[in-house]
Amino acid sequence: MVSKPAPPATSLAAAESTAVAASKSDPTSPLQIAKELSKARLSALVVMTTGAGSLFAGTTALASGGTVAAAAVGTALCAASAATFNQAWEINTDKLMPRTAQRPLPSGRATMPQALTFGFGTGILGTGILLAGCNPITAALGLANIGLYSLIYTPMKLKSEWNTWVGALVGAIPPVMGYAAVTNQLVAPESALLAGMLFLWQFPHFFSLAWLNRKDYMLGGHQMVSCNDPTGMRTARIIRNYTAAMVPLPYAATYMGLTTHMWSMEATVVHLFWLYQAQKFVKNPSNGNARKIFRTSLWYLPVVLGLMCFHSKHWQVLEGNEEGEDVVRDVVRSIISIVRPYGTEKCPHEVLLGRTTSTKKKREEGALQDVVNALPCPAVSSSTPSSSTR
């Protein structure tokens, strides 16, 4: 008998990788069901904004690394809980919409008792982590957000267009939680800035998505602006108006001494680009223009929030205000203090005045602080330590 040749090693590797991928995407696996009940992508977005709130506190965040981690994990679990209760409430309407019909509950891959157990479990665990690892303020905000999302926002979707404004409040709370976690402060200019940015961001983000999915929302009986807006003009104007409302925020942050002027310049570029797209949607409310607005919203947050944290004045601390030594904190602050002047050298203001050569020479000689103090560029002149630094 002639033996069959063994399959090539590459074929075996490909078969094994295919089997692994299939097992990971098994729609009936508990892990996959938990991922879908949690709305993992949405929860990841919540964690990112929470982290931005913590990092905006600057050196305080680095000195509270364990607290930042607790805030991220606790917020993620609270978001998973709220998303699960949302799906439990909307099981009947989800069955009517092709976009949601295959979720665990309407598809029958999970039972209602299983979903409720998961929802209560993640909610209790998340709130407990926030209470033990952060503070009562953060825990209370996490618990309140679960209730606001699942008990107020979710049922409002079938009754009133104002549900979107309530949903925007839900999205504005996580960055405040991140800041409160490391500072133990709820009412502060930083909290107002963070909440305002996330509140306004959600309108171009969600209304563009709602326009793309308006047929689904109609099938589910949801009261969305896009469902009651056949021409798209109401949707387009709301998107444009809320995008325009974001433009002054970076300047307000600079005026209040929370960030350097450089962030207001950088953020303005992004805001004006987004506003240009919004205006195009006003002139032509098409799916293509709505999709461009939505895609911009996805990269907007990591870019603008990341730059905001980088330019936070809380990275500078007045001499004598630090207690103990923190290597990570000092390294991060040193990197920021070195990178910022490099950006200044590219500033048209400095190039026109011909100061970049002397700046580079002075840096090479190690007189970095002298350079920072000597340059009148807004990015640098506004980065002196603030009396509000904690």
Q: What is the pLDDT, as a whole number, of residue 337?
A: 65
The DSSP bridge partners found for residue 207 are: none
Residues 6+ apart with CB under 8 A from 157: 90, 163, 222, 223, 224
- Residues 135/137/139/142 CA torsion (nearest 10 deg): -140
Residues in the chain: 390
Residues 301 and 374 sit within 8 Å (Cβ to Cβ):
no
Residues 279 and 271 sit within 8 Å (Cβ to Cβ):
no
Angle CA(232)–CA(237)–CA(238) in degrees, nearest 5? 100
Q: What is the pLDDT, as a whole number, of residue 26?
A: 77
Residues 157 and 96 sit within 8 Å (Cβ to Cβ):
no
What's this model's pTM, rounded to 2 decimal places?
0.78
**DSSP secondary structure of 11-35:** HHHHHHHHHHHHHHT-TTSHHHHHH
Distance (Å, rounded) from C-alpha 35 to C-alpha 24?
11
Token couple for 242 = 């809320």
Q: Note down pLDDT in tens along the chain; length 390 residues.
A: 444 454 444 444 444 344 434 444 677 888 999 999 999 988 899 999 999 999 898 877 766 778 889 999 999 999 999 999 999 999 999 999 999 999 999 999 999 999 999 999 999 999 999 999 999 999 999 999 999 999 999 999 999 999 999 999 999 999 999 999 999 999 899 999 999 999 999 999 999 999 999 999 999 999 999 999 999 999 999 999 999 999 999 999 989 989 888 888 889 999 999 999 999 999 999 999 999 999 999 999 999 999 998 888 887 653 334 554 555 556 666 666 666 565 555 555 444 444 444 444 444 444 444 444 444 444 444 444 333 333
For the chain, what is the mean pLDDT? 81
Q: What are phi and psi of 44, to 5 degrees?
A: -65, -40
SS (H, E, C) 291-331: HHHHHHHHHHHHHHHHHHHHCEHHHCCCCCCCCCCCHHHHH
Domains of the chain as residue ranges with CATH:
30-186 (1.10.357.140), 331-381 (no CATH)
Residues 376 and 306 sit within 8 Å (Cβ to Cβ):
no
**Model confidence over 215-241: pLDDT tens digits?**
999 999 999 999 999 999 999 999 999
Nearest to 314 by CA among 114, 60, 38: 60
Q: What is the pLDDT, as a whole number, of residue 374?
A: 43
- Residues 163/169/171/177 CA torsion (nearest 10 deg): -150
Q: What is the pLDDT, as a whole number, of residue 313?
A: 84
